[in-house]
Amino acid sequence: MSALPAATPARTGWLRDLRRIATFTGKRLIALILTVLVGVYLTILIANMGGQVDDLRMLQIRATVSEQVRADPAFFDMPSEERNELIERQVQLEVERRRLDEPFMVRSIDYLAQGMQLDLGRAEEMHSDSGSREVYQIIVERLPATLLLFGTANLLVFFVSVWAALWLSRRYGSPADRSVIALAPSSAAPGWFYGIFLILIFAFLVPVLPAGGMVDIPPPEDSWAYAASVMRHMVLPVAAMFISSIFISIYSWRTFFLIHSSEDYVEMARAKGLPSSLIERRYILRPTLSPIVTSFALMLIGLWSGAIILEQVFNWPGLGTLLFQAIGYRDTPVIIGSVVIFAYLLALTVFLLDILYAILDPRVRVGIEGDNR
């Protein structure tokens, strides 16, 4: 009792926690890889309709090849039997090149291996802005534009609303609180709706900001001027997204904090006479960090897909526009590629989330290792 405890148990406590987190992380990693594997394989099966698309492909190859051979003047005077033989040979070559002679199940495993290595193949119709037909290139070139725009807007909305909600939860029923509640229905309209009005006002009635695009045409040479131009182009779309989601976001976080600030342990902390900043930090934010981080991560996942209509309205060269075009062209490799990349990013986010949970919430740590009190 005399040589007391604080130091030693603290160290063993942390060791125990570290071991738990490591075990937990390993297990989660394996589970997630399996999940991505299954997800991508299912996408391959579905996109190929379980192999039935192969029959269509065969027909298509035959049609294309015969068309080519018949249209080629070099073969005009060839006897039709020879010509048919030639067509057969060409078809055979193409079939072997695409390995359509092998059973679909064998090939599907190969597709899976390629997909998992992010070898997404070539687009059928589309090409990237720099001219590449690699699906991976097409998608990756569009990613920064989307991330920049939606990242800025969503991070802004997230942090402003959490901060404002915490502030409002201390002022329950105040005029500010009531106005936020009253304004919450403004989020019923999507961002692009506000975008149209913003463009009308700030690009046409009072022409101070560009109506669309990502950078001036021609793009400025100087990199600072380039950045400034991009920022000017971002103002309106970011404002549109901000307006359309800020009030509902504040409102829901405010309710969340109000509920959690009536927990018994918060009341206990108040009774203990702790300063309110400490109560807010340690008794409201700390125990609710898991849901806050979850919603933050889900928001990040949402970023990857962009927003089709908003990007169209502001003529923004992002993933939303890309997907819209891919669907228009029925360019399946691009669509499947997006799905694969999305699955990877989702799994990565969930993985990071799991680790964060285990660090943030001691209950999660123990739950996985089993009951070992």
Partner 1 sequence: MVEKTLLSVENLQLHYQTRRGIARAVDGVSFDIRANEALVVLGESGCGKSSLAKALLRVLPRNVHRFSGRIMLGETDIMNLGQEAFRRDVQWTRIAMVMQAAMNALNPVVRVGEQVAEPLRVHLGWSRQRSLERVAKTFELVGVSTDFLQRYPFELSGGMRQRVVLAMALVTEPELVILDEPTSALDVLTQASIMNVLKRIKQEQGTSFMLITHDVATSSEIADRVALMYAGQVVEVADAGDFFHQPAHPYSQMLMASVPRLRQEDEPAHIPGQPPDLIDVPEGCRFADRCPSRFQRCDREPEPFRVSARRHVRCWLHAPDATGGGDS
Site residues, partner 1 (CB under 8 A): 1, 4-6, 9-10, 12-13, 172-173, 263-265, 267-275, 278, 282-283, 286-287, 289, 360-363, 366, 373
Nearer to partner 1, 175 or 218 (CB): 175
Residue 41 CB, shortest distance to partner 1, in Å, is 39
Residue 119 CB, shortest distance to partner 1, in Å, is 43
DSSP helix/strand/coil, 61: helix
Residue 182 CB, shortest distance to partner 1, in Å, is 20
State both tokens at 310: 């908003």
The residue written with tokens 């062209």 in the block is 329
Residue 366 CB, shortest distance to partner 1, in Å, is 7
Rounded Cα gap, residues 140 and 30, in angstroms: 26
Nearer to partner 1, 97 or 373 (CB): 373
Residue 276 CB, shortest distance to partner 1, in Å, is 9
Nearer to partner 1, 1 or 217 (CB): 1
Nearer to partner 1, 93 or 268 (CB): 268
Q: Where are the beta strands (DSSP E) in the chain?
A: none
The residue written with tokens 């998992």 in the block is 116
Nearer to partner 1, 221 or 264 (CB): 264
Output phi, psi for 134, to 5 deg.
-70, 130
CA 52, 54, 58: angle at the middle one, nearest 5?
Answer: 130
Q: Provide, for the chain, the percentages of residues in helix, strand and coil under a 3-state DSSP scheme, each rounded to the nearest 5.
A: 75, 0, 20
Q: Is the backbone peptide bond immediately before 103 cis, with ω within 30 degrees of 0?
A: no
